[in-house]
Amino acid sequence: MAEGVVIRAQELTKRYGATVAVDHIDLDVRTGEIVGILGPNGSGKTTTILMLLGLTEPTEGRAEVAGFDPLRDPLEVKRRVGYLPDSVGFYDGLSARDNLAYTARLAGLSRREIDQRFTEALARVGLPDVGRDRVATFSRGMRQRLGLAEVLMKRPSIAVLDEPTATLDPHSTQEFLGMIRGLKADGTAVLLSSHHLDQVQSVCDRVALFNRGRIALSGSVTDLAHRVLGGGYVIDVEARGASARRGPGCGPGAGSGSRTLPGRLRRRPARRDRAAPRPVIGPARHPLRRAEPQRSLHPVFRRGPRCGVEARHSPGSGSSSPRRPRTIFRGPGCGSSKPWFF
C-alpha cells in the first residue's frame, strides 16, 4: 500500500446474481483525512463498506485496510477499525457502561483502560452523566452518540461511519459533525457514508459521488466545483452611457463577457483559478458586485457532471424591487428535470 494510504479499493465489485451492487470502483483514504462517499440509497455505499470490513466477499477486485486484506485477515482489520453502522445495536437491558465495557473487553482492553477511556469517551460525545443508565431509556440520537463513544474507546487508526446522522435532528447533526472533525484532529482517517450532500461537503476533505454502483466523480469539494461547474467569479456590472454601449471585452484581463440586460454586463475572468482584475468600464452608477466562488456541489448532485450552473439576479417588477437570486442550469445533459442520481 502506498505511503499514507490506509484504505485502498481496486476494481472492487459485488454482484448478487444478475444485479451489480458495486461496479469496479477504485477508492483510497489517507491518514488523517475525512473522505465522504455520497449517493442515494441503493447506490452501493453500504455494500462497499461491508467489503472493506470483510463482512461480505467481493466478486472481483481487492481491498486493503490498514495494510491487511479484509477477506484473509478480518480480525486484524477489526482491531484497527472503528465501525459505526447506520443502525447501532446495543443490549437494552444493560447500562451504557456495561455495553461499552463488553465490546472493549472483546477488543482486548484491560479493566483499567476501560475505566479511563469510558469516562473520556462519554464526555466527548456529550453524555457524561448517563453511564449507569440503561440503554433502553436512550433516544435514537443518544444511541448514535453512544455508538461513536464506542469507536472513540477503541482509539482506532480508521473510523468507518455509515449514515451516522440519518436519524438526528438538525442541531444534533451539527454537533455530531463536530465530533467527526474531532476524529480527524486525533489523526484518525474517516470514511463517511451519507446521502446528505450539505453534511458531506461541510466536513469532508474529499468526496466520491456514487451512482448505481459506480464512482461517477471524486475529488475535493472545491476541485469538483471548479472541474464540473466552472467555479470562479461572476461579476455583474451596471453602467450608463458609452461604457455600457461598448459591450463585453472592455479593459485588460476582463475575460469573457455577455450582455444580460440593457445597461448591464456580465464578466467572467479569463482564468477561473484567479479573481478577475477590476474591469475598466468608465463611470458607473452602481459599484461592482463580485460573487463568491461557487463551492457547492448541489448542482452536480441533482443534475450530473456535464451541467454548468450560473447564479443570476433577476429584477423585480419595479425599479426599487429587490433582486431575487435564481439558478439557471445550462450545458449538455441538463434538459431533463429528473435528478441525475435517480
What pLDDT digit, counting tens, does each position of 214-235 carry? Answer: 998 888 877 877 776 555 555 5
Domain assignment present for residue 12? The answer is yes
| Number of domains within the chain | 3
* Average pLDDT value for residue range 262-273: 51
| 9 and 114 belong to one structural domain | yes
Instruction: Enumerate the β-bridge partners of residue 217.
Output: 209
Q: Give 131-165 pLDDT, tens digit per residue.
A: 999 999 999 889 999 999 999 999 999 999 999 98
CATH number at residue 144: 3.40.50.300
| 282 and 300 belong to one structural domain | no
Range(s) of the domain holding residue 268: 232-290
Secondary structure (DSSP) of 123-190: HHTT-TT-TTSBGGG--HHHHHHHHHHHHHHH--SEEEEESTTTT--HHHHHHHHHHHHHHHHTT-EE
* Average pLDDT value for residue range 83-111: 91
| 130 and 210 belong to one structural domain | yes
Identify the domain boundary among 290, 311, 328. Answer: 290
| 201 and 263 belong to one structural domain | no
Q: Give 298-314 pLDDT, tens digit per residue.
A: 555 554 444 433 333 33
| CA–CA gap between residue 134 and residue 136 (Å, rounded) | 5
| 133 and 259 belong to one structural domain | no
Q: Give 172-198 pLDDT, tens digit per residue.
A: 899 999 999 999 999 999 999 988 888
| 180 and 135 belong to one structural domain | yes
- Looking at residue 316, what is its pLDDT? 40
Domain assignment present for residue 273? The answer is yes
| 153 and 282 belong to one structural domain | no
| 214 and 239 belong to one structural domain | no
pTM of the predicted model, to two decimals?
0.68
| 279 and 319 belong to one structural domain | no
| 151 and 257 belong to one structural domain | no
Q: What angle do CA 172, 173, 178 make, to 5 degrees?
A: 95
Domain assignment present for residue 126? The answer is yes
